[in-house]
Amino acid sequence: MTASVTELTVTAEDRRVAWLATAAVALSLVDAAIPSPLPGVKPGLANIVTLVVLIRYGWATAVWVSGLRVLAGSLLLGYFLAPGFFLALTGTTFSLLTLGLARHLPGRWFGPVSLSILAAFAHIGGQLLLARLWLIPHNGVFLLTPVFAAAALVFGTINGLIAARLLGEIPAAEPVR
């Protein structure tokens, strides 16, 4: 038997990303199971994981976890490469970019709730933009902006509070990078 040419070494970081992404995917499934009055209005519970990861392990890990969550979540829910997938991808990209900037805000004043709300607004903003440019090329898309914005505020706040609580309860395993 020949020895394998490529050797995949799994680091502790890889395992951590995998576990956290699993948790995020599980929350995505819970999210999908919650009935929504309007497509696009949903709690986005998986973002709790993103927030915790961002604050605990840094932005790069958060990007990995979010990316894997969108990919695996779409495969499990059956919308991989469907319009919903690109909406999710755009929303996630926008909120990750926003989080990348917002995490530099002074932590004494701005906690997880701020990050969560800003990310939620970036998420819905990105999605509306993509919907306007690609899916529904008509300004009528923006008519529902108030509903989406209100949802972003409410769910952003709730998710932020949950993330803050989790961060308070789980002691840091290692220093924040």
The binding site for other proteins (CB under 8 A) comprises 105-106, 108-114, 117-118, 121, 142-147, 149-150, 152-153, 156-157, 160-161, 164-165, 168
Residue 102: CB atoms within 10 A of its CB come to 18
Q: In angstroms, what is the minimal distance from the CB of 143 to other proteins?
A: 6
Q: Which is nearer to other proteins, 68 or 158 (CB)?
A: 158
Q: In angstroms, what is the minimal distance from the CB of 104 to other proteins?
A: 13
Rounded Cα gap, residues 48 and 44, in angstroms: 8
Q: In angstroms, what is the minimal distance from the CB of 160 to other proteins?
A: 7
Q: Which is nearer to other proteins, 85 or 148 (CB)?
A: 148
Q: Which of 89, 73, 68 is nearest to 33 (CA)?
A: 73
CA 71 to centroid of chain Cα atoms: 12
Q: In angstroms, what is the minimal distance from the CB of 106 to other proteins?
A: 7
Query: Residue 2: in which H helix or E strand, if any?
Result: none
Q: Which is nearer to other proteins, 82 or 150 (CB)?
A: 150
Measured CA angle at 27 (ends 24, 28), to 5 deg: 85
Q: Which is nearer to other proteins, 52 or 70 (CB)?
A: 52
Q: Which of 34, 29, 28 is nearest to 48 (CA)?
A: 28
User: Which tokens in the block code for residue 139?
Assistant: 């300004």
Q: In angstroms, what is the minimal distance from the CB of 62 to other proteins?
A: 19
